[in-house]
């Protein structure tokens, strides 16, 4: 089934989505994208359904063809302070605020959101596999976050964030067990199973 262009006929409807919600380290990153009404792309889909090569191929196409595109990070200290759900919504709000054109409608992936500047919105479960603007936002959020994790990998290569992106892989947890935590880890998350103790 092909994706629909948007939820409404509003020419300034933006799609928004986040990446990195389940990670142990790094930010949660959101993006917002407004696509033109004649936008078409046969590859574009939910970022989780695409390979890294496909996502990196689509990123410059979205940036070139979108009416407006923006992303935003919310970092671990804020995630720990306000919890991951609120941090995810805050990241989406920040991404929308960064758009060069203000949207008149917001389509949100998932089922949780808070009103933003009184702009009408609609939450859509699995919206990133139904609507092109949300799918585009999912790709921009994922590629932007991946780039950030690759950058901080250079600072702490022992965690191999360039590969695991901060997700709770066996490799990542073994590195936490061996080397302890960093300033990029989310202290409000269970970084290791209960039988292990963190090194500070």
Per-residue pLDDT of 66-80, as tens digits, reads 999 999 999 999 999
Distance, CA of 35 to CA of 63 (rounded, Å): 10
Distance, CA of 171 to CA of 159 (rounded, Å): 8
Domains contained in the chain, CATH given? 13-153 (3.30.420.10)
Task: Give the model's pLDDT for residue 2.
Answer: 81
* Band of residue 197 on the pLDDT scale cut at 50, 70, 90: low
Which SS3 state, helix, strand or coil, does residue 32 take?
Answer: strand
Q: Degrees (nearest 5) of the Cα angle 88, 94, 96? A: 105
Residue pair 21/28 in contact (Cβ under 8 Å)? The answer is yes
Task: Give the model's pLDDT for residue 200.
Answer: 46
State the average pLDDT for the chain: 95
Which SS3 state, helix, strand or coil, does residue 193 take?
Answer: coil
Task: Give the model's pLDDT for residue 9.
Answer: 84
Task: Give the model's pLDDT for residue 195.
Answer: 43
Reported as a single tens digit per residue, the pLDDT across 77-105 is 999 999 999 999 999 999 999 999 999 99
Distance, CA of 26 to CA of 159 (rounded, Å): 12
């Amino acid at each position: 089934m092909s994706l629909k262009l948007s939820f409404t006929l509003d020419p300034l409807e933006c799609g928004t989505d986040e990446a990195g919600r389940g990670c142990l380290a790094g930010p949660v990153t959101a993006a917002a994208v407004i696509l033109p009404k004649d936008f078409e792309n046969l590859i574009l889909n939910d970022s989780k359904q695409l390979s890294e090569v496909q996502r990196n191929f689509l990123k410059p196409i979205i940036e070139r063809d979108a009416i407006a595109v923006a992303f935003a990070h919310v970092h671990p200290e804020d995630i720990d302070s306000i919890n991951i759900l609120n941090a995810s919504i805050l990241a989406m709000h920040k991404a929308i605020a960064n758009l060069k054109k203000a949207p008149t409608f917001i389509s949100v992936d998932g089922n949780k959101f808070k009103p933003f500047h009184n702009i009408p919105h609609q939450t859509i479960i699995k919206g990133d596999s139904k609507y092109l603007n949300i799918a585009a936002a999912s790709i921009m959020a994922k590629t932007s976050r991946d780039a950030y994790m690759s950058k901080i990998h250079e600072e702490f290569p022992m965690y191999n964030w360039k590969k695991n992106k901060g997700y709770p892989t066996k490799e990542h947890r073994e590195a936490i067990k061996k080397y302890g935590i960093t300033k990029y880890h989310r202290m409000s998350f269970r970084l290791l199973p209960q039988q292990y103790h963190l090194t500070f």
